[in-house]
Amino acid sequence: MIRLLLVSLALILPLSADEPGWISLFNGRDLSGWTPKIAKHPLGDNTFDTFRVEDGILKCAYDKYPSFDKRFGHLYTNLAYSYYILRMEYRFVGKMMPDAPGYVNLNSGVMAHSQPPQSMTLEQGFPASIEFQFLADEGKGPRPTGNVCTPGTNIEIDGKLVTQHIVQSSAPNLPADQWVSIEMEVRGNEEIIHRVNGKEVLRYQKPQLDPKGRVIETKSLFQAGSPLRLTSGHIALQAEGQPIWFRNIQLKQLEPTIRPEKK
In the chain the domains, ranked by start, together with CATH numbers, are 36-253 (2.60.120.560)
From first to last of its 263 residues, the chain has per-residue pLDDT tens of 333 333 334 333 444 446 889 999 999 999 999 999 999 999 999 999 999 999 999 999 999 999 999 999 999 999 999 999 999 999 999 999 999 999 999 999 999 999 999 999 999 999 999 999 999 999 999 999 999 999 999 999 999 999 999 999 999 999 999 999 999 999 999 999 999 999 999 999 999 999 999 999 999 999 999 999 999 999 999 999 999 999 999 999 999 976 655 55
Q: By the 8 A CB rule, do 103 and 134 touch?
A: no
Burial 9-26 (b: 16+ CB within 10 A, else e): eeeebeebeeeeebbbbb
- Please give the backbone phi and psi of residue 148, each rounded to the nearest 5 degrees, phi first: -110, 135
